[in-house]
């Protein structure tokens, strides 16, 4: 029998989201007396609303073997796209290499088995996203909490950490009903995205108070506001296959994505927009960025110009009608307005200068970015605890021995498509395992 007080633990994990649930489970499975502290009444609130309440668990491009998924694989997904750990790293841009050790401890194949071992059959959709076959995020959370329960970790809810301080050889975590002590702490309280879930950036203040640098936190994977007033008039209109890119005043595109877009009452959304919004999140102060949309990604500019010339010579069809062969009519009319071409213009009357403007808009409609919809609509946070201050082999702080990090509190944000959940599972697993290890 241990003579330690009841509030003394080997490992305290702060935050019962994706990363925290895995970290606490893994620490307890490794033999550490573990407590999981969560400010909400229940765990995994953000998991439940993710992916339209379906929960995009991870991405098939990160698999080594497609057979790791026992559920159906959409025939539209090409197994040749499997790239293992590298695919997940690439989705995080410059931060990708940091994830290497965590992904090697818990890669996509092992993550899939973790859920399937708990009775959650997974499926692969045509775009590579992996969802529970039931299309229910509740099943994903239930799997995590079942394993947590078996691990022996203690879970405390309505227990927001007000601060962490060194107390001799351990840490003191201040809670509303009194402190608890732990030899090691895993900070996994998330970022600032979807603050209604309780992710209000508490971890940044805790990390900063312990000496860590915080890279400016901004909303990412978030709908964009754009300047032209006509864009909101198209709200509800979606296009399944365009190329969206973000550009600065000079140089190549800062971000580019071929996927669907959606016009909204405030600007633009959809998978392509959410992914390129990361460039706006990383924008330097004072920079002005521009969104460009290529509506014909498979047609070179010269070919599109030739087609428009040929169609304009036939009969006296309105130019808006010619454009509507490939685009919704409302959008075609707005593009004409944007280029200063009268909606009444017919093909034979279209001038060369007008045609050049239209082709330019069809291949790269330029829309100045006026901001984002903020953390309330952001799927993840960009910024957070500086990666150079964390050891990627253990997730332990390089500044404070015994302090570990996992999940969105780190300066890591990946593409849409399950990549950010995979980072949460993997960093949580590694952090919990390392925190439970010998001093």
Angle between helix axes 301-313 and 352-364 (nearest 10 degrees) is 130
pLDDT on residue 412: 96
pLDDT interval class at 2 (50, 70, 90)? very low
Hey, what are 168's tokens?
């001799």
pLDDT at 64 over 60: yes
pLDDT value of position 314 = 82
pLDDT tier for residue 1 given thresholds of 50, 70 and 90:
very low
Does residue 348 have a pLDDT over 70? yes
Cα separation, 390 vs 384, in Å, equals 12
For 215-253, the DSSP string reads EEEEEES--EEES-TTGGGGTT-EEEEEEEEEE-SSSS-
Task: Locate 327 and state its tokens.
Answer: 């685009």
Q: Note the pLDDT tens digit of each residue in 366-396.
A: 999 999 999 999 999 999 999 999 999 999 9
User: Mind spelling out the 3-state secondary structure of 94-134?
Assistant: HHHHHHHHHHHHCCHHHHHHHHHHCCCCEEECCCCEEEECC
Q: Does 223-373 carry CATH code 1.10.8.50?
A: yes
- The 8-class DSSP code of residue 347 comes to G
What is the per-residue pLDDT for 147?
A: 98
- Between residues 42 and 1, the one the model is more confident about: 42
Each domain of the chain, given as residue ranges in start order, spans: 8-218+379-435, 223-373
- Measured CA distances, 434 to 24, 26, 98, 312, 401 (Å): 11, 9, 16, 67, 12
Confirm if 418 and 58 have CB atoms less than 8 A apart. Answer: yes
Q: What confidence tier does 3 reach under pLDDT thresholds 50, 70, 90? A: very low
pTM for the full predicted model: 0.92
Pairing of strands 255-263, 267-269: antiparallel
Q: What is the pLDDT of residues 65-116, one digit of tens each?
A: 999 999 999 999 999 999 999 999 999 999 999 999 999 999 999 999 999 9
pLDDT band at 249 (very low <50, low <70, confident <90, very high): confident
- pLDDT tens per residue, range 136-155: 999 999 999 999 999 999 99
- The DSSP result for 265-312, as a single string, is SSEEESHHHHHHHHHHHTPPTT---EEEEES-TTS-HHHHHHHHHHHH
Mean pLDDT (the chain) is 94
pLDDT greater than 70 at residue 6:
no
**Three-state SS at 13:** strand
* Amino acid 430: pLDDT: 98
Closest CA to 184 of 162, 201, 169: 169
In CATH, the architecture of 8-218+379-435 is 3-Layer(bba) Sandwich (3.50)
Kindly report, residue by residue over 160-204, the tens digit of the pLDDT: 998 899 988 899 999 999 999 999 999 999 888 877 777 788 999
User: 75 vs 62, 78, 271, 418, CA distance in Å?
Assistant: 18, 7, 21, 19
User: How would residue 415 be classed by pLDDT, with cut points 50, 70 and 90?
Assistant: very high
What value, to the nearest 5°, has the Cα angle with vertex 35 and ends 30 and 39? 140
Region 403-425: mean pLDDT is: 97
How are beta strands 403-405 and 180-187 bridged, if at all? Answer: parallel
Maximum CA extent, the chain: 93
Which pLDDT tens digit goes with each residue over 273-312? 999 999 998 887 778 899 999 999 999 999 999 999 998 8
Q: What is the mean pLDDT of residues 340-353?
A: 93
Quick check: 236 and 215 in contact, CB under 8 A?
Answer: no
pLDDT(5) > 70: no
Please determine, for residue 7, whether its predicted confidence score (pLDDT) is greater than 80.
no
Q: With 0-12 CB in 10 A as exposed, 13-18 as middle and 19+ as buried, what is 58? A: buried
Q: Cα 254 vs. chain centroid, distance in angstroms?
A: 17
* Alpha-carbon separation of residue 143 from 106, 146, 201, 216, 348 (angstroms): 17, 5, 26, 34, 64
% the chain with pLDDT above 90: 87
Cα–Cα distance measured from residue 36 to residue 21, given in angstroms and rounded to the nearest whole number:
8
């Amino acid at each position: 029998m241990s003579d330690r007080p009841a509030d003394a633990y080997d490992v305290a994990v702060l935050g019962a989201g994706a990363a925290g649930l895995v970290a606490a489970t893994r620490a307890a499975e490794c033999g550490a007396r573990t407590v999981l502290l969560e400010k909400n009444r229940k765990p995994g609130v953000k998991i439940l609303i993710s992916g339209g309440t379906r929960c995009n668990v991870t991405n098939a491009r990160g698999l080594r073997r497609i057979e790791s998924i026992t559920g159906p694989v959409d025939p539209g997904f090409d197994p040749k796209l499997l790239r293992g750990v590298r695919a997940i790293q690439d989705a995080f841009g410059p931060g990708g290499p940091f994830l290497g050790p965590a992904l090697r401890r818990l890669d996509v194949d092992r993550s899939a088995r973790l859920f399937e071992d708990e009775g959650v059959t997974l499926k692969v959709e045509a775009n590579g996203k992996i969802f529970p076959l039931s299309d229910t995020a509740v099943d994903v959370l239930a799997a995590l909490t079942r394993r947590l329960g078996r691990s022996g970790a203690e879970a405390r809810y309505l227990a927001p950490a007000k601060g962490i301080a060194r107390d001799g050889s351990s840490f003191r975590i201040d809670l509303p009903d009194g402190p608890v002590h732990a030899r090691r702490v895993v900070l996994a309280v998330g970022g600032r995205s979807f603050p209604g879930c309780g992710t209000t950036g508490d971890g940044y203040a805790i990390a900063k108070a312990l000496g860590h640098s915080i890279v400016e936190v901004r909303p990412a994977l978030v709908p964009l506001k754009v300047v032209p007033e006509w864009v909101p008039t198209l709200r509800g209109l979606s296009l399944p296959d365009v190329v969206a890119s973000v550009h600065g005043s000079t140089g190549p595109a800062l971000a580019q994505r071929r996927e669907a877009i959606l016009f909204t009452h405030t600007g633009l959304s959809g998978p392509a927009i959410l992914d390129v919004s990361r460039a706006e999140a990383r924008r330097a102060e004072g920079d002005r960025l521009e969104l460009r949309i290529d509506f014909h990604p498979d047609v070179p500019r010269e070919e599109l110009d030739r087609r428009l010339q040929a169609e304009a010579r036939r009969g006296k069809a309105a130019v808006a009608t010619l454009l509507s062969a490939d685009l919704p009519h409302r959008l075609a009319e707005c593009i004409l307005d944007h280029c200063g071409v009268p909606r009444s213009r017919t093909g034979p009357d279209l001038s060369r200068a007008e045609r050049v403007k239209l082709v330019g808009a069809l291949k790269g409609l330029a829309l100045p970015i006026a901001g984002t919809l903020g953390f309330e609509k952001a799927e993840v946070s960009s910024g957070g605890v500086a990666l150079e201050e964390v050891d990627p082999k253990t997730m332990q702080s390089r500044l404070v021995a015994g302090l570990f990090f996992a999940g969105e509190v780190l300066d890591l944000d990946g593409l849409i498509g399950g990549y950010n959940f995979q980072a949460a599972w993997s960093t949580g697993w590694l952090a919990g395992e390392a925190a439970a290890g010998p001093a």
